[in-house]
Amino acid sequence: QVQLVESGGGLVQAGASLSLSCAASVSGSGRSFSRYNMAWFRQGAGTEREFVAAINWNGNNHIYEDEDFREGRFIISRDNAKKTVTLEIAPLKPEDTAVYYCAASEALGLTRMATNYQFWGQGTQVSVSS
């Protein structure tokens, strides 16, 4: 089992930066945080949950939602020793307003599909004012 707790959300102005953190606790014999690929998703009001970024087990590979990658506004990273995953967003835009979720996957490869992530946090709200 993996329990995930997000933090770092809040109300910020457009153009500012924000760092979201996800702290993981892993239970079960032989299991460790480093065996999981991690990702961030987000869900705005009245919209479906969408993929933001994912990072593989050792942090040397990551994928992003295509448009955000081209803009370079999102950076995902992880610290296996601290069992944390971080999502940095800069500069923020009003359309980034959403609940941001951290997720963990046991899949072998990185994936954008939410259905491939077995464990989810409760989410942290990010609200961006114009």
Sign, Cα dihedral of 73, 5, 10, 18: negative
Name the more confident of 23 and 106. Answer: 23
Residue whose token pair is 């961006």: 128
Tokens representing residue 64 in the block: 């992003």
The percentage of residues in the chain with a pLDDT greater than 70, rounded to a whole number, is 96
- pLDDT given for residue 64 in this prediction: 87
Indicate the pLDDT class of residue 92, thresholds 50, 70 and 90: very high
- CA 28 to CA 122: how far, in whole Å? 21
Residue whose token pair is 């490869």: 109
Interval 48-64: pLDDT, tens: 999 999 999 999 999 88
Quick check: 124 and 5 in contact, CB under 8 A?
Answer: no
For residue 17, the cross-strand partners are none
- CA 55 to CA 60: how far, in whole Å? 8
DSSP-assigned letter for residue 99: E
Cβ-count burial 8-39 (b if 16+ within 10 Å, e if not): bbeebeeeeebebbbbbebeeeeeebeebbbb
- pLDDT given for residue 65 in this prediction: 83
Instruction: State yes or no: pLDDT of 110 exceeds 70.
Output: yes
Query: Mean pLDDT score of the chain, rounded to an integer?
Result: 93
- pLDDT given for residue 68 in this prediction: 64
Instruction: State yes or no: pLDDT of 96 exceeds 90.
Output: yes
Instruction: State yes or no: pLDDT of 127 exceeds 90.
Output: yes
The helix (run of H) or strand (run of E) holding residue 104 is: strand 98-105
Instruction: State yes or no: pLDDT of 71 exceeds 90.
Output: no
